[in-house]
């Protein structure tokens, strides 16, 4: 399978795109391993990487986020052990570390040698890393769905529906201390969906209450809050953040305060 990963990037010339495709291939193998472990009986795939795999968001993503929906069959250490073995059998020099000392459990998947073989690193000890997070106390109200995906491999995923994923994105836009252009690009993508997508307001309100305190925000006023937030950001920094991750890098030029304000007020 490592040969397959390297074959995917063989004709690419842009280093960022090479890295994006390698990382995405490893993300897919991670999902495949979790699928075989029946982890999606407990977990829901969320965040930007879920948007990419399930709804064809035209940007790559670095990390993998999950929400714990059912606790009785939650066996993450067993899943991580299998994941490491699966990646080793696929030909990758892999280490997997695990931390469950906080509410959000974290795993770090690190693959050695691959970046050098891909011509992206001079030394074999430079590793391609993926962070995986599992929120063990997600806000209530999200709606789950199941989808078969066929990117490189066929597997079944449990994930949040599009309205619930949008609620998570809006929560990040309102509350994140350090703005990420990727979040704002995703918002533009949502606003361009037809038929239009509205966020799961119950989930969004629960998330805002959980992280900011009850009564601090009114989820129904999310557009007003987001417009106020974008006014404080630097458009150039937002575009620079997202551009390396886009299927079509020129789309970063659309990311402006004026555009955000326009799509939310029309």
Q: Concatenated DSSP letters for 132-143?
A: EEEESSPPTT--
Query: What was the pLDDT predicted at 16?
Result: 95
Query: What was the pLDDT predicted at 152?
Result: 86
Ranges of residues in the chain with a pLDDT under 50 are none
Residues belonging to the chain: 266
Instruction: Tell me the pairing of strands 43-46 and 104-112.
Output: unpaired
Q: Residue 118, preceding bond cis, omega within 30 degrees?
A: no
Query: What was the pLDDT predicted at 181?
Result: 96
Query: What was the pLDDT predicted at 124?
Result: 80
**Using an 8 Å Cβ cutoff, are 186 and 168 in contact?**
no
Query: What was the pLDDT predicted at 266?
Result: 80
Query: What was the pLDDT predicted at 187?
Result: 97
Closest CA to 151 of 64, 21, 13: 21
Question: Which pTM was predicted?
Answer: 0.95
Query: What was the pLDDT predicted at 160?
Result: 98
């Amino acid at each position: 399978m490592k040969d397959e990963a390297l074959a995917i990037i063989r004709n690419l010339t842009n280093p960022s795109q090479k890295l994006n495709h390698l990382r995405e291939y490893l993300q897919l193998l991670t999902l495949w391993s979790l699928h075989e472990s029946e982890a999606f009986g407990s977990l829901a795939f969320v965040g930007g990487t879920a948007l990419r795999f399930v709804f064809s968001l035209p940007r790559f993503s670095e990390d993998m986020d999950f929400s714990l929906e059912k606790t009785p069959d939650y066996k993450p250490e067993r899943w991580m052990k299998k994941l490491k073995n699966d990646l080793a059998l696929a030909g990758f020099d892999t280490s997997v570390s695990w931390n469950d000392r906080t509410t959000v459990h974290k795993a770090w998947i690190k693959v050695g040698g691959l970046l050098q073989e891909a011509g992206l690193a001079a030394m074999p000890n430079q590793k391609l890393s993926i962070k995986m997070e599992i929120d063990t106390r997600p806000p209530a109200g999200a709606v789950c769905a199941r989808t078969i995906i066929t990117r490189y491999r066929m597997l079944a995923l449990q994930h949040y529906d599009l309205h619930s994923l949008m609620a998570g994105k809006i929560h990040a836009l309102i509350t994140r201390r350090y703005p990420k252009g990727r979040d704002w690009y995703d918002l533009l993508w949502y606003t361009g969906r037809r038929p239009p997508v509205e966020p799961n307001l119950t989930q969004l309100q629960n998330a805002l209450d959980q992280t900011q305190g009850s009564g601090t925000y009114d989820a129904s006023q999310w557009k007003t809050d987001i417009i106020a937030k974008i006014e404080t950001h630097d458009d150039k920094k937002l575009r620079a953040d997202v551009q390396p991750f886009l299927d079509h890098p020129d789309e970063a030029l659309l990311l402006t305060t004026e555009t955000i304000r326009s799509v939310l007020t029309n």
